[in-house]
Chain A
Amino acid sequence: MTKIKLQHVSKQYTKESDKVIHDFNLDIDDKEFIVFVGPSGCGKSTTLRMIAGLESITGGELWMDDQLVNHVPSKDRDIAMVFQNYALFPHLTVFDNIAFGLKIRKVKKAIIKEKVEQTAGILGLTPYLKRKPKDLSGGQKQRVALGRAVVRDANIFLMDEPLSNLDAKLRVQMREEIIRLHKTLGTTTIYVTHDQTEAMTMATRIVVLKDGHIQQIGTPTEIYKNPNNMFVASFIGAPAMNFIHAKVVNNQLMTSEGKEIAPLARPIDHQGKVILGIRPESVVLATENDGLAMDVEFVEMMGADLHVHGKLEQSKIIIRLNPDVMVKENDRIYLRFPHEKIHLFDPNNEESLYQSEGMTAWVD
């Protein structure tokens, strides 16, 4: 069942200004966890705020549960929103903050009490119900903000970078809690973040945005394995995908200097210059005879992995190796790019030309 439908939605603040959202089309199913991800200024928050009814829609249609809601005010959309800076009412206790939405809807006192206590139980807030927001830590505040959304049994959860203000450790912890919450409640959720890790770990589907245009919509695996273009390829994944100048001659992939890289598994409709994309973890060590030379510039020991930074011909490259491999600064190592892990992009429009059939290769 389609829960939310965005059709050709666009946003323009004033008639003179440029559009900040262009032709946004997306169908969101019931119980999905959709993540909008992109760099700052890409329009992800604006889109979320349009769905929330906090921002008017310039063009196109927004449907919720088969009802056109373009002009329905926020309060009647049955949404619950969580904000980056928590947006807790400083003059109310935790209990009253969580109960706010219920009180407005004139729910009976006994029911409010029961629901708030139940929500506080889920989120581990029971000991803090009588405190004011100023006496809570960042993590607790964000939990109260989540509680305010959870308690209302709203139809849709909208979260605008809810974890950005937390420190790294707490962020991981709260990420797990939100995932668990979504599994328990099954509420359709739209989550905005600029953090690709959050997008990858939480989403059922990711929407990658740039400059108000949708770049790609897909499951985390699809986006990671088969990025539509160089932007998606570089934005999703850390360290980012390597891009190396290369060329295709007679279906054979070669470096700019003419060294053979790999044969292509299927022919492509492109000759000449291409950008070769390869993930840092897909690169395999080889010998001088069958590998491409890489000059190591420096090495980062991450514990579980070893990140090796260096240059392959003129292109910068990062590879991720087993930490037991002995590689150090100024070494020359030799690399092989497995053909099933190779991506090719058009250097002119940065669109994908060739995707390895990675899906099957990865599943088995």
Chain B
Amino acid sequence: MVNGATKPKRFVNYLLLILFGSVMILPLVWMFLSSLKTSDEIFAVPLTWIPSNPQWDNFSRAMELAPFGLYIYNSTVTAIFIVVFQIISSSMFAYALTQLEFKGKNLLFNSILITYMLPAAATYVPSYVIVARLGLLDTLTGIIISNIASVFTIFLIRQAFLQVPKELVEAARADGANDLTVLMKVMIPMSKSTIFTAALISFVQMYNNYLWPSLIVSSQEKYLITVGLNRFFTTQGTFADQWPLIMAANVLAVLPLLILFIFLHKWFIKGISDNGVKG
């Protein structure tokens, strides 16, 4: 788009990109700046951007009001477990869908896709009953187990596996590889960027997941950060002087995701564009 375009065209393109980029990042910036303000500054008219005297102790004060560290830990650990299990099971599933021949393969794949069309809320009741019957209510294991299967991840990895040339699989087989070896040594390494992307998307999704975990866990020490923030907000937030603390807690909550994205954004973008172009 940018390459080869004339100068005014390029100017407009960049202007639009900057505009949209700013709109996207503004809330984040606002959140971060607000976390350093006093409550008076937050509601000051006319609005001030830069806090005159950064209140770094907002962070420690927020941490005292609720165990946000524990919440973040809970969220991170659950999300990591879910992602690991999802990638393992989805890779195996995608392998079966692309490499094995069995009756009803297409039917199976289509029925998986149909479940993706279902609104998540429609499955909450049956899923809740299953988790309850398993005796996993109010446990992190319950959240993990109920999220292990991901249609989206299966679909994404299946698309990547379809791109692996048939000859490579045949060459591996002729070299003595069984299904597991083909999966581990050929399919997964060759679909690395897609798998990274799937893992990242899924991590973010699970870290941000609110409604379902809030149904499963009830004791405070098992709160995920999303649930914890909400409880904090509803219990404390009606008082205007708590806003800087809420903002500080929010900053702490998005920190793991930001760090993750900074380290892995190359893979993220590659994974998305790879599938887009070759598709």
Contacts and interface: CB of A to CB of B under 8 A. Distances in A.
Find the residue from B173, B189, B190, B192 having the highest chain A CB count within 10 A: B173
B165 interface: yes
Contacts of B170: 52, 54, 74, 81, 83, 87
B167 interface: yes
B18 interface: no
Given A90-B190, A91-B190, A104-B181, A75 B167 contact: no
> Which 3 residue pairs of A and B lie closest in terms of their CB atoms, listed nearest first?
A101-B175, A87-B171, A81-B174
A100 B175 contact: yes
17 contacts: A53-B173, A54-B173, A73-B173, A75-B177, A75-B178, A76-B176, A80-B174, A80-B175, A81-B174, A83-B167, A87-B170, A89-B186, A89-B189, A100-B172, A100-B175, A101-B176, A104-B175
A104 B192 CA distance: 20
Given A74-B170, A85-B167, 7 more contacts: A52-B174, A75-B177, A80-B174, A81-B170, A87-B165, A87-B170, A158-B174
A52 B167 CA distance: 13
B192 A105 contact: no
Given A83-B167, A87-B167, A74 B174 contact: yes
Interface residues of A, number: 24
A158 B177 CA distance: 17
Nearest to B177: A104
B191 to A, nearest CB: 10
A247 interface: no
- Give the secondary structure class of B's interface: helix
B170 to A, nearest CB: 5
A104 B167 CA distance: 18
A105 B176 contact: yes
Find the residue from B165, B177, B190, B192 having the highest chain A CB count within 10 A: B177
A79 interface: yes
Interface of A: 52-54, 73-76, 79-81, 83, 85, 87, 89-92, 100-101, 104-105, 148, 152, 158
Contacts, number: 62
B185 interface: yes
B168 interface: yes
A304 B181 CA distance: 53
Given A90-B190, A91-B192, A75 B185 contact: no
Interface in B89-131: none
Contacts of B181: 104
A344 B170 CA distance: 45
B168 A87 contact: yes
B231 to A, nearest CB: 46
B186 A152 contact: no
Contacts of B167: 83, 85, 87
A81 B171 contact: yes
B189 A148 contact: no
Contacts of A76: 176
Contacts of A87: 165, 167-168, 170-171
Interface string B49-84: 000000000000000000000000000000000000
A158 B170 CA distance: 12
A99 B181 CA distance: 14
Contacts of A152: 175-176
Nearest to B186: A89
Contacts of A92: 189
B174 A79 contact: yes
A148 B176 CA distance: 12
Nearest to A151: B175
Nearest to A148: B175
Contacts of B165: 85, 87
Contacts of A104: 172, 175-177, 181, 185
